Chain A
Amino acid sequence: MSAAPPLLAADGLTRRFGGLTAVNRVSIDLHSGEIHAVIGTNGAGKSTLINMLSGEMRPSVGSIALRGGDITGWSQPRRARAGIGRSYQRTTIFVEFSVFENCRLAAQAARPRPWAVWESAARCAHATGAASRALEAAGLSELAHRGAGSLSHGGKRQLEIAMCLATEPVVLLLDEPLAGMGSEETERMLALLAALKATHAVLLVEHDMDAVFRVADRITVMVNGEVIASDLPERIRNNAQVKVAYLGEARRSS
């Protein structure tokens, strides 16, 4: 746990869709070296929250700051280049490309040089280097030259994270990375998350409660768009309100 100022701080985020308030006055802090998990029932507003943090959706009210600087009005690409990486719940890898190319292309965003049409993209040292490192970290180096579509489901989810890492972010917004994984793949992913924690600020939205309690340093619980508790895992486990909200939901989703 760090006492340093948060790397990413969201304050009073609210998002309305017409008459519906999907997220209401949610504040959340992400510190480097920490995994902050967000759990909640379906429709609790977790996706909307992560969309606002990544920049895909503008908050109706509220502000977001990166390293103390206000980024509320920044577009998603701008935030990505500033160091906020995001993985998606439904896999968004480039299925037609090779595993390596997936990461190389993502890494290219940091040094895009679009006017240099005479240079081959494959020779871009910056992008190929970052891609290699990302694949190494995600444990996919041996599969680098396979087609991304040929990976197992777990492999694809790993690639999703690797693409995130290829942009060399400091903040990781991970949207249900464990979705649809078997037990062996889950172990691998949790080991990866534990390794990443040291050098990143991680937001983890997840349904898998066992995994969350194993790996999170802090847990925020959302119900109907609002935060009902935000605390250390042991205290959340014993929180009466949370237990009530989670009757029946606390089992691992199959």
Chain B
Amino acid sequence: MANAKTAWLVPVAGAVALGLLPLVVTTYGQDLVMRIMVFAVFALSLELLVGTTGLVSLGHAAFFGIGAYITVLLSPASEAGSVWLLLPLAMLAAAAYALVVGALSLRTKGIYFIMVTLAFGQMAYFVFHDTPVGRGTDGIFLNLRPVLELGSAALDLGDRMHRYYLTLAALAATYALLALVLRSRFGRALAGIKVNEQRMRAAGFPTYPYKLAAFVLAGALAGLAGFLLAAKDAAANPELLSWHESGVVLLMIILGGLGHLRGAVIGAAAFTLLRELYGTYSIVGPLADHWQLTLGFTVIAFVALLPQGLIGLPARLRTARG
């Protein structure tokens, strides 16, 4: 396996490959890959919480949806909004809600924590689905996608290629940031908290602030993913905050392999492709209407047979073979 010095090669190669991809795929393919990249950012944000710190949150989609909604709600009606304004605001709003939810939820542990995060996620869903804040159950639309002004040049997210590369840049930045965090003192402390919180306290770490910081950072990054999705689809809808979505992103990181950044990316890609697959008539025929069933069974089989995720597949095959 790659050692520490060459560990950065694979992600960089991946980024380069993604950068060159638009040259060889159709627009459908580009949209699919963009969707994968957005969910990769979303999944990476949850990986920090679940994989690194051991906090299983079932309400993470709330921050994703808030990021998307803020982007659309604060965009001017008749002209393109500014990325410089909308991106930070989306992340800030998501982080603010994460601060409140985290401060309360972290007063509980284990199963309580899972249920409480689920409940707070549902509260956010309710606000956007059933109250005037969300402007209706069908969601809202963006007339003009935001623009990123850099001096005299501008990156117009209305242009598909600009969108693609901004999303790729955001994914690369998120990955790099989390890689740094993981090897920093803060990241090591989170890892210690996951393995044995009691021992960390006995050593002198006040664990609550660390967990809260991880929760807020994860929320902010989910908000980033929300911004990217809103920019891509020029829309936001309440289902983005549903617990179904929270379950999906959790599934992605487990599918890919918990405890590894690349697992989050791989899982996002695998799940998105699977969902496309199961819903495509030409491949699965009439089963496509019941993709939820196929997906459900796949998940169950998967968690039962491959608990380490796709990342653990090579090792599993090796032990199976000899």
Contact = CB atoms under 8 A, between A and B. Distances in A.
Most A-side CB within 10 Å, residue of B181, B188, B198, B206: B188
Give the size category of A's interface with B: 35 or more
Given A96-B195, A108-B188, A117 B202 contact: no
Contacts of B184: 116-121
Interface in B55-106: none
B312 to A, nearest CB: 15
B259 to A, nearest CB: 10
Nearest to A114: B186
A122 B191 CA distance: 14
Interface string A122-160: 101001000000000000000000000000000000000
Nearest to B183: A120
Contact of A118 (B180, B200, B202, B213): B180
Given A114-B186, A118-B180, A124-B185, A80 B202 contact: yes
Contact of A167 (B185, B192, B204): B204
A139 B204 CA distance: 23
5 contacts: A88-B199, A117-B186, A119-B185, A121-B187, A163-B199
B203 interface: yes
Given A77-B205, A112-B185, 17 more contacts: A77-B201, A80-B202, A85-B202, A92-B198, A92-B202, A94-B195, A94-B199, A96-B195, A101-B188, A108-B188, A108-B189, A110-B204, A112-B205, A114-B185, A121-B188, A122-B183, A163-B203
A97 interface: yes
Nearest to A103: B203
B205 A109 contact: yes
Given A108-B188, A114-B213, A119-B184, A92 B196 contact: yes
Q: Which 8 A-B pairs have the closest CB atoms?
A: A109-B204, A80-B204, A106-B203, A81-B204, A114-B186, A121-B188, A117-B184, A109-B203
Contacts of B198: 92
Contacts of A200: none
A253 to B, nearest CB: 25
A48 B185 CA distance: 32
A114 B210 contact: yes
A105 interface: yes
Nearest to A83: B204
B294 interface: no
A105 B204 contact: no
B201 A80 contact: yes
B186 A93 contact: no
A113 B186 CA distance: 8
B198 to A, nearest CB: 6
B207 interface: yes
Interface in A50-102: 54, 56, 75-78, 80-81, 85-86, 88, 92-97, 101
Contacts of B210: 114
Contacts of B201: 56, 75-77, 80
A93 B192 CA distance: 10
Contacts of A17: none
Interface in B107-158: none
A86 B189 contact: no
B185 A77 contact: no
Of A80, A85, A106, A114, which is in contact with the most chain B CB atoms at under 10 Å from its CB? A114
B196 A114 contact: no
B176 to A, nearest CB: 11
Contacts of B188: 101, 105, 108, 121
Interface in B210-256: 210, 213
A95 B195 contact: yes
A234 B217 CA distance: 59
A54 B203 CA distance: 11
Given A54-B202, A119-B184, A120-B183, A114 B189 contact: yes
Contacts of B185: 108, 112-114, 116, 119, 121, 124, 127
Nearest to B206: A77
A149 to B, nearest CB: 11
